């Protein structure tokens, strides 16, 4: 599944490498490989909203929106309507109550004797549950997907730890996948500088960094929408850390507080 146009990003997106790795896995498992593009849908339903929210000073998570609108909507429907799938399985670290015995209408019918497609008729709500690997849990990113999508989704890794999954992959010979770095940032930004990337799409709105302690101007920035509350503000020429505590949309000023002030405030609060 490709959501970002690599041509526009001068080859910096890893989509091509992702497809190559997925194809090699499919070959080894002897299962068909299908590729589908949702570049247009992603732009209109995820990225445009992402930019609009940033311009208003909010910081949405595009991965949450991608799961809601693309992966567990467009892609799910494609798999069912075009590939004849009963459900999809993803590599997210999450679980659902789908496999609990109490969701079956017939309490005397064991789950192993039922077809997966028959469970779609169940009227009980499906719960999204935390993964066994607490440190890799991804339920936050799945928090907005629909009940319909949850009923037709499997999370095979939900009951496993990341280390155990790597062990399985190594034993299966998927060494080319194990060598890859884990994806931690926003998918369409990759390893690029976040500020430079956003300013390719939004007009700069320069302003000042202002200390809330004494009102002193500490430096300048290119846009108040580039910062979120609690974020460290990297101010040129200042070695000590400063953190964003407020933003003035009208003036473009970002109010910051020093780490020492925060430490004293916390100590005073504890007392």
Looking at the annotation, which residues are catalytic? 66, 187
Q: How far apart are CA 7 and CA 46, in angstroms?
A: 19
How many Å is the Cα radius of gyration of the chain?
Answer: 23
């Amino acid at each position: 599944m490709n959501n970002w146009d690599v041509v526009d990003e001068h080859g910096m997106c890893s989509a091509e490498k992702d497809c190559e790795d997925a194809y090699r896995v499919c070959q080894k498992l002897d299962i068909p490989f299908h590729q589908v593009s949702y570049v247009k849908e992603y732009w209109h339903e995820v990225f445009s909203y992402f930019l609009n929210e940033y311009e208003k000073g909010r910081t949405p998570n595009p991965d949450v929106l991608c799961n809601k609108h693309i992966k567990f909507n467009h892609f799910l429907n494609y798999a069912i309507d075009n590939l004849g799938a009963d459900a999809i399985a993803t590599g997210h670290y999450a679980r659902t109550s789908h496999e609990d015995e109490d969701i079956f209408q017939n309490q005397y019918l064991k789950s192993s004797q039922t077809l997966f497609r028959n469970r779609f008729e169940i009227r009980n709500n499906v719960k999204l549950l935390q993964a066994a690997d607490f440190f890799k849990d991804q339920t936050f990113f799945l928090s907005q997907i629909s009940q319909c999508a949850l009923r037709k989704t499997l999370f095979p890794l939900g009951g496993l730890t990341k280390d155990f999954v790597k062990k399985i992959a190594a034993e299966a010979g998927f060494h080319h996948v194990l060598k890859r770095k884990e994806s931690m940032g926003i998918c369409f930004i990759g390893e690029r500088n976040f500020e430079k990337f956003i300013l390719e799409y939004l007009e700069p709105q320069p302003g000042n960094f202002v200390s809330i302690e004494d009102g002193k101007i500490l430096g300048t920035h290119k846009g108040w929408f580039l910062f979120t509350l609690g974020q460290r503000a990297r101010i040129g020429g200042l070695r000590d850390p400063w953190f964003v505590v407020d933003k003035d949309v009208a003036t473009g000023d970002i109010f910051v507080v020093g780490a020492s002030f925060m430490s004293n405030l916390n100590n005073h609060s504890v007392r």
